[in-house]
Structure 1
Amino acid sequence: MPNHPGLDVPDARGRTGLDQVGRDLAGNPDVVIRDVELLAAAWHVLRRTTYDYRRRDGSWSREQRETYDRGDGATVLLYDPHRETVLLTRQFRFPVYVNGHPDGMFLETAAGLLDGDDPAAAIRREASEELGVEVGALEPVFAVWTSPGSVTERVHCFAAAYSAESRVGAGGGLAGDGEDIEAVELPFAEALRRIDSGEIADAKTIMLVQWAALRGPFRHLTSI
């Protein structure tokens, strides 16, 4: 019998059984999983799942959905409450470049995949690698799915104060991973303006900046 990387033999990342994810779901009696197919397994995993779905009128239909599984992630809005600034990253993002962004240079909060860590440990790691910041107390803000129609990733969103003293490293990301990240410090009012202008178009960043204006550390500065 042929060997199938990611199924019965390890793929390039040492994984097997990638077609088993989701087969045992039982939390919704109106959804019955029938089959899970592995379509691609490179760095992340593309699956096609077939299931029966009981509609609101009681009838059943056979559905298929493709899901892109890249693991869960974490992000943090770093803010200086005294100077009323936020610290963001700017880096080239090919997926946005190929879909209409002018140059692909994306302004966003520091973020990364969990890669086996808990969310707090993961975002401390990413803030250090990307921005050179040693994060102190973390405030959990929310955990969100940003593209629930196809991407399984849940992003754990945090906020944390920073200062000149907590910027202890060079940042810039990991060159071995192809990262070339610029630290961008903005007055909070300027970050809000850039959301309005479309210069900040990243969903997680918009949510965290608006949280900071509505309920977070800069609510005293705004009337929104």
Structure 2
Amino acid sequence: MTKPFQFTASDVKVEKRETVFQGFFRMDKLWLTHPRFDGREMPVFTRELFVRGDATCVLPYDPVRDEVVLLEQFRLGVLGRDQSPWLLELVAGMNEDGESPEDVAQREGQEEAGLTFSRLHRICDYLVSPGGTTEMVHLFCGLISTEGAGGLFGVEHEHEDIRAHVFSAEEAIGMIRDGRINNAAAIIALQWLELNHSSLRKEATP
């Protein structure tokens, strides 16, 4: 059997690319071809690509109190589904030019929740929806104290309206099981917390 990853980006031929929409987001249309697994060449085909920069997401966690901070805010993409479009999510923001994911984590921690992370544990980097968008998420668990955490935050001129909530780790993980939390970054981070819960708490014990 042939091992995976026999092809690389250099095997893809982009015959033409044009921007078909530029607004708050950007959409490109590509005409491309690439080799097939059976040795033939794929006929030229078109795809629309949602061009979006990378993002950083952080799960704020207090290992002493065993609590997390989750942010409640409106999300347009949920409209039309049988649920509230106000979701419980992680601290998150788009990476700007020249910023590292760690820089973004600290900036967004302050803007969205009034938090400074004493340590950032890298969870993973993952592609959001590679069939249609370029976005990569850099995912962290950030250590904090939840003493005094919570409240209203957000950058008003960016139309952010955020309420920060403090939950026990157990309750937050339970909200994955019952479907109250159903966005990818929060699910991945909370499941990582469930797997690493004991070691994080042990590290925090004097």
Please give the TM-score of this superposition, normalised by the length of structure 2.
0.87
Contact 1:84/1:218, CA 8 A, preserved across alignment: no
- Structure 2 distance, partners of 1:194, 1:108, is 12
- Structure 1 distance, partners of 2:139, 2:200, is 22
RMSD: 2.1
Q: 1:101, CA displacement in angstroms?
A: 4.6
Partner of 1:193: 174
Kindly tell me the number of residue pairs found equivalent between the two proteins: 193
Contact 1:53/1:63, CA 8 A, preserved across alignment: no
Contact 1:72/1:113, CA 8 A, preserved across alignment: yes
Please give the TM-score of this superposition, normalised by the length of structure 1.
0.80
How many percent of aligned residue pairs carry the same amino acid? 31
Partner of 2:77: 95
Q: Give 1:35-184 correspondences, 5 Å limit.
A: 35-61=16-42, 62-98=44-80, 100-116=81-97, 117-164=99-146, 167=149, 172-184=153-165
Query: For structure 1, which runs of at least 5 residues remain unmatched after alignment?
Result: 1-25
- Structure 2 distance, partners of 1:166, 1:124, is 18
- Structure 1 distance, partners of 2:200, 2:155, is 37
1:120-154: CA deviation from partner (whole Å, max 9, x where unpaired): 10111111100000122211111001211111100
Contact 2:75/2:85, CA 8 A, preserved across alignment: yes
- Structure 1 distance, partners of 2:143, 2:26, is 35
- Structure 2 distance, partners of 1:143, 1:119, is 10
1:181-216: CA deviation from partner (whole Å, max 9, x where unpaired): 0001111111111101110011010001001111x2
Q: 1:37, CA displacement in angstroms?
A: 1.2
- Structure 1 distance, partners of 2:118, 2:48, is 39
Contact 2:69/2:164, CA 8 A, preserved across alignment: yes
Mark the CA change 1:156 to 1:170 in structure 2 (over 3 Å): closer, same or farther. Answer: same
Q: 1:166, CA displacement in angstroms?
A: 8.3
The structure showing larger relative contact order (alpha-carbon pairs under 8 Å, at least 6 residues apart) is 2
- Structure 1 distance, partners of 2:175, 2:90, is 14
The code of the aligned residue for 1:90 comes to E
